[in-house]
Amino acid sequence: MQFFAHATDASSKYELKDSDIYPTITYTINDDASKQKDFVVAQLYNQKKTENDVKLSFLHALTQVNFSAKGSNNNLKYTISSISIEGVANTGTYSFADSTWSVTGKAGIYTYPIADNAPVSGTTISDLDQAKGALMLMPQAMTTDSKIKISYNVYNATDVKIDAVTDAVISLNNTAAWGVGKKVRYTLTLSSEGATISFAPEVGNWSTSDDTPVAPPAE
C-alpha cells in the first residue's frame, strides 16, 4: 500500500490519473504574504498491512525567504520602506513520485513584511524578520525576470536625510535556486546608488528547531 498526505487549504488540487502510480498536487501561492501558509506533504511507499499505526512524517514543501540588510558606509543610517520579490512562478505541481515541483505562472509582487521604516545602522547586519512574516514561495530556479525591489532613505550622522532610493532593482538571475524545504536569506547592502546582494544567499535546511514563524492556517 502507498500512503500520501498533505496539509494546506482548499486551493490545492490533488489528482491521481488512471495512468499514474503516484499522485500529484497543484498549489498556488497567495499574493498576500500575511495569508501565505506553510504547505507540508508526507508519503510512505510500499507498506505491508499490519496492526501497527501508520506514521507519516510531514516535510516542508515550499521555500521560506527572509531578508537582512546592512549599509555600505559606517557613518550613515538607513530606513527601509519596502522590499518585494517579482518575476517568480506562483503556481506549481508537486509530484509525490520524486518530491519535485513543476512550476508555471508568474506572480505580480510579493511584498516582504517589515517594520515601518525599518532601521539599518552603519555596516552592521540587521535581520528584517517580523513575527509570522517570512515569505512562503514556490521552489524554483531563478530567471531573467526574477528580481528584488527595495526602497529606502539615507541619513547622515545627525539624522539629516541625504538621499532617497526608490524601487532599486536587484536581479536574481543566475543566483541559487530555491529548493524544497529550504530557508533562503538574502543580505542586501544599501548605498546611495542602490542596493546589491552583498554575498551569495544563505541557504539552509528548514527544520522545526529553527523555523521562522509563518502565518497560521485558516481556522
What percent of the chain clears pLDDT 70, i.e. is strictly above it? 80
Task: With CA atoms as reference, report the closest residue to 72 among 115, 117, 125.
Answer: 125
Of 91, 38, 36, 64, which Cα lies nearest the Cα of 182?
64
30 found inside a domain: no
Which tops the pLDDT comparison, 35 or 8?
35
Q: What is the CATH number of the domain that holds 134?
A: 2.60.40
pLDDT at 208: 44
Q: Which amino acid is at 113?
A: P
Between 205 and 15, residue with greater pLDDT = 15
Residue 114 lies in a domain: yes
Supply the range of the domain harboring residue 84: 60-90+105-205
The pLDDT of residue 67 is 93
**CA–CA separation, 5 vs 21, rounded Å?**
15
Q: Is 86 among the domain residues?
A: yes
98 within some domain: no
Q: What are phi and psi of 39, to 5 degrees?
A: -125, 115
Residue 199 has pLDDT above 60, yes or no: no
**Residue 119's pLDDT is what?**
93
Give residue-wise pLDDT tens across range 57-99.
778 899 999 999 999 889 999 999 999 999 999 999 999 888 8
pLDDT one-digit tens code per residue, 110-143? 999 998 899 999 999 999 988 778 899 999 999 9
pLDDT(9) > 70: no
pLDDT at 55 over 80: no
Asked, for residue 31, whether it belongs to a domain, the answer is no
Amino acid occupying residue 208: T
Beta bridge partners, 188, equal: 69, 197
User: What is the total count of domains within the chain?
Assistant: 1
For the chain, the C-alpha Rg in angstroms (whole number) is 20
Phi, psi values for residue 194, rounded to 5° = 135, 170
Q: Would you call 168 helix, strand, or coil by DSSP?
A: strand
119 falls within a domain: yes
